[in-house]
Structures are given as structure tokens and as C-alpha cells.
A = this chain, B = another copy of it.
Amino acid sequence: MSREGTVVRDKAGFLERRKDRRLGVLTVLVVLGLWEAVGRSGWVSPFFLPPLTQVLLSGWEITRSGEVFSHLAASLWRIGSGFAVGAGLGVLLGVALGFSQKADDAIHPLVAATYPVPKIAVLPLLILWLGIGEASKVAVIGLGVFFPVAINARAGVRNVDPLLVKAALSLGSGRWGVVRKVILPASLPMIFAGLKLGVGIALLLVVTAEMIAAESGVGFLILSAADLMQTTRLLFGIMLLSGLGLFLSWLLGRVERKLIPWRG
């Protein structure tokens, strides 16, 4: 070996995370650029993949007319309320199932059995109970969000270090204190992964929900464009939904970083 010897390099350096936003913007731009290129190349019929610029143009039209904002507002309201209800109940049930083996024994099979029931099939029942208006739409979104949040919260709770629960018990916590002060924070990373999944599902389901008796909404925009085979409008609707998804997951990320400050 050389006189210099071997200098020790930091093998664990990659554990330190330094976020670089520019990269993400770059990839998204590259994908959008590719889309434009493919759309213009003529490889695929513009009927399926019109170039990005054309999609933006058609989007600009309905933006200028203000139509977009009423769609956005309607959907945001449905997504927001559905998400709030579904995520709230999901966290509650998930934590309960993770915490109490009895509750889990009783209810988990039911959850596993009802989870794969297609939401489209449940809609008629929901309409029967809740009417054709907003309530059934919010309920469908809520149902969709409920499952990933509940399943992740349950797994998160089951994953909590029992030693920490013991520490809390020894410091005088009751069951409820343990749940609130140990189990919830300890399973937050997993609950947040569930919430992120829930956001995506809420956005997906807004399309299902607006299949029935909707007169506005991004989902309505997408569905009616799909039915009418107006591809540019359809793609603009999808872009709106993606944009909403990005925005909501950014928002969740911020909340997460606020609530989980103990990891770097």
C-alpha cells in the first residue's frame, strides 16, 4: 500500500438527505417534453395523444371562460370532505384494530372482505341511502380513502415498539394516553403513507363519484370528455387532477415534516 495509506471515506454519507427540488422539476419537464414530441411526431394519432400545447390551449379556453374554477371548486369540496371523513374514520379504526387484538379479530376479516368491493357497485346502495346529491359522492370518496388509511394505520400501530408503550404505562398513561401520546406519534410515518395513498385514491374516486348525477367537477370534466371522446379536454382534465395530486401531496409533506420533526 502507498505511503499515504487508505483514507477512510464516510460509508454512511448517503443516509444524510439533502433535498434538491430542481431535479424533480426537471424530470417532470422532460416527461412533458417527450409528450409534446410524441404528439407532434405523428407516431400516434392525435386523437389519442394530442401534443401538450394543444391540450394546454384547450385548457386555456375553459380557464378563460371561468368554467375550470367551478369544476375545481366542486371537486375540491368533494375531495376535501370525503378525505376528511374517510381519513378520520380510517385512522380511528386502524388504530383501534392495531391496538386491540379483540377488535382486530372481530373486524379485520370484515375489512378485508369489503375492501375489494368495487366502489362503482356500492354507489347505487349509497344513493339509496344518501340520495343522489353531494352526500353519496362524498361517501364514495370517503370509503375509498378509508381503506388505505385504516390498513396503514393498523400496520403502523402493530409495529410500535412495545417497550415505548411500557414506558408510557409506567409513567402513568392510561390506554387512551398510550394511544394518543405513543401509538399515534410512533405510527405517524405509516399513517402519512396511508394518507398519501388516500389522496391519490380520493382523486381517482372523484371521477367515479362524479359518474353519477354530477353537473360539475374535474371528474365530470374528465368523464364527459371521455364519453364525448374529446381527447384534449380529457387530457387537460387529467392534468388538472395530477396538479391537484401534486399540490395535495406537497401539502401533506409539509404537514408531515411539521408533525415528524424528530427525523432530521
A245 within 8 A of B: yes
Q: A207 near B: Cβ within 8 Å?
A: yes
Could you tell me which residues of chain A, from 39 to 69, have a CB within 8 Å of some CB in chain B? 44, 48-49
Q: How far is the CA of A155 from the CA of B187 in the complex (A)?
A: 12
| A31 close to chain B: CB less than 8 A | yes
Considering the complex, give the chain B residue whose CB is closest to the CB of A207: B118
A244–B128 CB distance below 8 A = no
Cα A102 to Cα B197 in complex, Å, equals 22
A21 at the binding interface (Cβ < 8 Å): yes
Binds B, one of A9-17, A81-89, A132-140: A9-17
User: In the complex, how many angstroms separate the beta carbon of A218 from the nearest chain B beta carbon?
Assistant: 10
Minimum Cβ distance to chain B for residue A119 (Å): 7
Report whether A120 and B12 are in contact in the complex, using a CB–CB cutoff of 8 Å.
no
Residues of B within 8 A of A250 (CB): 112
Task: Using C-beta atoms within 8 Å of the partner chain, give the interface range for chain A.
Answer: 35 or more
A199: chain B residues within 8 A (beta carbon):
116
A109-B152 contact in complex given A116-B203, A121-B207, A147-B197, C-beta closer than 8 Å: no
Residues of B near A105 (CB, < 8 A) are 19-24
Please encode chain A, from 95 to 127, with 1 for each CB lying within 8 Å of some chain B CB and 0 for all others. 000011110011111101111111111001100
B118 touches A19 (CB 8 A): no
User: Once bound together, how far apart are the Cα atoms of A124 and B113, in whole Å?
Assistant: 30
Q: Annotate A236-258 by CB proximity to B: 1 below 8 A, 0 otherwise.
A: 01100111111001100000000
Give Cα distance in the complex from A129 to B207, angstroms.
Answer: 23
* Residues from chain B with Cβ under 8 Å of A181 in the complex: none
Which among B24, B99, B108, B193 is the interface contact of A190 at CB below 8 angstroms?
Answer: B193
A204 proximal to B (CB < 8 A): yes
A80: interface (CB < 8 Å): no
Give the B-binding residues of A (Cβ under 8 A): 11-12, 14-15, 17-28, 31, 44, 48-49, 99-102, 105-110, 112-121, 124-125, 128, 147-148, 151-152, 154-156, 158-159, 162, 165-166, 169, 175, 189-190, 192-194, 196-197, 199-200, 203-204, 207-208, 219, 222, 226, 234, 237-238, 241-246, 249-250, 263
Write 17 A-B pairs (CB below 8 A) sorted by A numbering.
Answer: A11-B169, A20-B105, A24-B105, A28-B109, A28-B113, A48-B124, A113-B246, A115-B245, A116-B199, A116-B200, A116-B241, A116-B245, A118-B207, A118-B219, A121-B226, A124-B226, A154-B193
